[in-house]
Amino acid sequence: MDFGSTPEAIENERKRLLLYASAGLGSLFLGTFCLLSFIQGRTLLAVILLLFLCVVFLCAFLARVLKQVQPVCLFLGLVLYFLSSYLLLSGGASGTGAYWSFAITMLMVLLVGPKVGVLYMTLFLLTNSLALYSDLPFVYAYSDINASRIIATSLTLYTLILASEWIRVASYSAISTTSESHREQANTDPLTHILNRLGVQSQLQSQPLQLPCTVAIIDVDNFKQINDTHGHDFGDQVLVKLADTLQRHTKGGDIVGRWGGEEFLVLLNDTSPASAAELIRKIKRQFTSNPSLSDGQPIAVSFSAGIASLQQIEDFEAALKRADQRLYQAKEQGRDRVVFSRGDAVLPQ
């Protein structure tokens, strides 16, 4: 059973199942009491129950064919409001309608949710309380004590069900927020605060690229030597600086991530390899023109990059492999350069 992956989708499927359950239980109880009412000669009650039964089946059918079921829930909730009011005020069979109104109104709140449920229940209690103590001819002749007990019981049950729904919604919201926070932590590199490898892969699944696009793999030159000579804190400073520089020079729809170690991945939407090479060269000039400081001394740091074109998202791994091969070529050619086609290089300027 697929409930979806977002809070909205999960809640939508929950209400869809609730509509199906309502149709199943409604067909059992409404159908049974409709038949008994016909047999016992209570024709009006039987017709009304049959009408409501048809509405319940209609709502179940709409829940099956419609993508969003909230409008169906609101409509069925209103129908249940009138059914419950009718059973309570008419007395149903020998005054037992009040008992069924309790269950029906609780189902109504479950369908519409706590916010709309407060409105429905407030109207239900006000209108039916006034009617129970009126002299209207269609209202069942409950004794004053029984009418008071019905109102008190209704108020207690509705307070409990509404409180339960509010708690459920608040708890689910807290769980959703915590889950989203954990997901973000799992997808984010803690040092540079950009996407990590898992985050890039997740974003590729959720965010369509504007094809054709370009894949660039960037690797800090001589990073092990930098760490050995100047310390890991300086190495971390270099990685953070490069991540910030990449983010400042890319568009909102582009993807920038730390692919691993001192290696970064950049996906540039709707960009040719030549244009991407010019952009990466511009980034490299910006990166090297502001050297990082180690013990107050500026230390020149460069990077190499390999670039490949991506025509279809299914070819991502192949494009990644080509970009990695061109990064290797850039390293072989002396580092501090960008290779975007076999044998060609864009040298630093």
DSSP letters of 131-190?
Answer: HHTS--TTS----HHHHHHHHHHHHHHHHHHHHHHHHHHHHHHHHHHHHHHHHHHHHB-T
pLDDT score recorded for residue 272: 87
Partnered with residue 265 across adjacent β-strands are 217, 257
Residue with tokens 């502001």: 290
Is the pLDDT assigned to residue 1 strictly greater than 60? no
Structure tokens at 207: 């965010």
Other C-beta atoms lying within 10 Å of the C-beta of residue 64: 13
Average pLDDT over residues 94-110: 86
What's the distance, CA 59 to chain centroid?
A: 26
Partnered with residue 309 across adjacent β-strands are 214
Residue 303's pLDDT band (boundaries 50, 70, 90)? very high
Is the pLDDT assigned to residue 132 strictly greater than 60? yes
pLDDT score recorded for residue 3: 61
Average pLDDT over residues 331-344: 81
Average pLDDT over residues 64-90: 90
Domain boundaries, the chain: 7-184, 197-346
Is the pLDDT assigned to residue 150 strictly greater than 50? yes
Is the pLDDT assigned to residue 349 strictly greater than 50? no
pLDDT tens across 134-147, in order?
888 889 989 889 98
Question: Which of 216, 223, 219, 110 is CA-nearest to residue 168?
Answer: 110
pLDDT score recorded for residue 93: 76
3-state helix, strand, coil in the chain (%, to 5): 65, 10, 20
pLDDT score recorded for residue 311: 83
pLDDT score recorded for residue 56: 83
- Helical pair 114-132 and 70-90, crossing angle rounded to 10 deg: 20
Whether 11 is a known active-site residue: answer no
Question: Which has the higher per-residue pLDDT, 349 or 310?
Answer: 310
The answer to whether the CB of 87 falls within 8 A of the CB of 135 is no
Tell me which of 262, 278, 314, 317 is the catalytic residue: 262
Average pLDDT over residues 19-41: 84
The answer to whether the CB of 324 falls within 8 A of the CB of 316 is no
The answer to whether the CB of 125 falls within 8 A of the CB of 118 is no
pLDDT score recorded for residue 343: 47
* Backbone torsions φ then ψ of 253, nearest 5 degrees: -85, -10
pLDDT score recorded for residue 221: 95
Is the pLDDT assigned to residue 65 strictly greater than 70? yes
Which is the CATH superfamily of the domain at 197-346?
Answer: Reverse transcriptase/Diguanylate cyclase domain (3.30.70.270)
Helix (H) or strand (E) segment spanning residue 5: none
The answer to whether the CB of 316 falls within 8 A of the CB of 211 is no
Average pLDDT over residues 288-300: 85
